[in-house]
Copies of this chain bind each other. A is one copy, B any other.
Amino acid sequence: MDLTVSCLSHVYPGRKTRPALEAVDFTVPSGQFVALVGPSGCGKSTLLRLIASLIQPTAGRIEIDGGLTPSQAAAAQHIAWMSQSPALLPWLTARDNIAILRRVLPEGTRLRLSPDEALSMVGLEAAAEAYPFTLSGGMQQRLALARLLTLDSSLWLMDEPFAALDELTRERLSQDLLELWQPLRPTVLWVTHNIYEALRLANRVLVFTPQPGRIAADIDVPLPYPREEADPAFQQVLLQVRQALSLNRNQYEAAHA
């Protein structure tokens, strides 16, 4: 499912002087795994919310699957969105937090996994009957991830899905995710602050400037999976991303000094 973002801007009401996103332009071909990185508050979450049509842009257009508006795409269940906070229903057990999809989504919507399969995918089999408030931060995030993976959508919008996870869990889940992604080839927008994680997963990294978010660099990651940190090619892309990040930070700080 391809995605075209043209000249997208967003200003939150009451925030006239500080737009969250400014003139963002990019195109994602179907099946690409794009990592979005950028400083805190630069508008990454805003971008995802715009594509999920949770908010309406102040200016610019988003086209999905060759012409659908975000709202149409969402209505067709093409989009799966995972927010930065886990957003679990406190009155449901872990399993029911996934099983609720069956009830909420329109009759006949296909789901990829059963709740128990999804739970075991993120290592929460043992917590199936636990309520969200008895789960640790990382477990809550994994539950939200399991819920997203259950959806049979072709555009995944994922807002820092591994932020609360330890390195090992992150690594294991990355592998599982890639295994899932490679045959299905959904288009993925993956917000992260962890560059290693970005480079282990993505085909492409979009680096954003500090607020107001604009695209500072568009970096290809032409490495085969599985990837190794020690690989010099990996280290080279890593350096590229780091430079893009710190460069625009320096620019920004110079401009605002």
Contact = CB atoms under 8 A, between A and B. Distances in A.
Interface of A: 12, 14-15, 18, 37-41, 45, 84-85, 126-127, 134-139, 142, 159-160, 163-170, 193-195, 242, 245-246, 249
Contacts of A165: 40, 193
Q: In the assembly, how many copies of this chain are there?
A: 2
Contacts of A246: 168
Nearest to A45: B136
B15 A142 contact: no
A254 to B, nearest CB: 15
Contacts of A139: 40-41
B166 A38 contact: yes
Contacts of A163: 163-164
Nearest to A208: B166
Nearest to A159: B137
A245 B193 contact: no
B137 A37 contact: no
Given A160-B164, A166-B193, A193-B170, A136 B12 contact: no
A200 B139 CA distance: 26
5 contacts: A39-B138, A39-B166, A40-B136, A40-B165, A41-B138
Contacts of A41: 127, 135-136, 138-139
A107 to B, nearest CB: 34
A137 B169 contact: no
Contact of A160 (B45, B137, B167, B242): B137
A94 to B, nearest CB: 12
Most buried by B among A15, A45, A127, A163: A163
Contact of A164 (B37, B84, B127, B168): B84
